[in-house]
Amino acid sequence: MTRNDEVLAHARAWLGTPYQHQASCKGAGSDCLGLLRGIWREIHGEEPRLVPAYTPDWDEPTGQEVLLKAACEILCSVARGQEQPGDVLLFRMRPGAVAKHLGILAQTGTVPAFIHAYSGHGVVTSPLSAPWLRKIVAVFRFP
């Protein structure tokens, strides 16, 4: 089993977890960062760093790319077009806003999909439709 297969298997096990801001507990509550933190713990044990409290707007008022910077430091960058199921997708929800949403690529091909914790829905699989594709800022892989 490759690392990406392992990441995807763990992500699928989180499906159905309710959405809870700042949470990271499979079956009990998670947000998008919490989903990745939980998968990281399941694979690596301890998290690579302490995550300070954060608001739903991340650092939009300051314009700081906190999530992008942390992803670049902790995860392995993947060139666009080289994405594989199990890779981490980082999204910028609006042009000019900071990147602040994460998901795991679940499926490529004619019907691409990703797994993410989505406010009001919980951890779900969503189609990686054209609007979502346009929002991808960067792609990463778990080390």
CATH assignment at residue 13: 3.90.1720.10
Cα–Cα separations (whole angstroms), residue 124 to 16, 74, 88, 104: 6, 24, 15, 11
Per-residue tens of pLDDT for the chain, all 143 residues: 899 999 999 999 999 999 999 999 999 999 999 999 999 999 999 998 888 888 776 656 777 898 999 999 999 999 999 999 999 999 999 888 899 999 999 999 999 999 999 999 999 999 999 999 999 999 999 99
| Domain around 37 | 3-141
Per-residue model confidence as pLDDT tens digits over 118-135: 999 999 999 999 999 999
User: What is residue 93's DSSP assignment?
Assistant: S
Give buried/exposed letters for 36-66 (b at 16+ CB in 10 A, else e): bbbbbebeeeeeeeeeeeeeeebeeeeeebe
Task: Give the integer Cα–Cα distance in Å for 64 and 99.
Answer: 9
Task: Give the integer Cα–Cα distance in Å for 109 and 111.
Answer: 6
Task: Give the integer Cα–Cα distance in Å for 25 and 49.
Answer: 17
Total domains present in the chain:
1
Task: Give the integer Cα–Cα distance in Å for 87 and 27.
Answer: 22
Beta carbons of 33 and 43 less than 8 angstroms apart: no
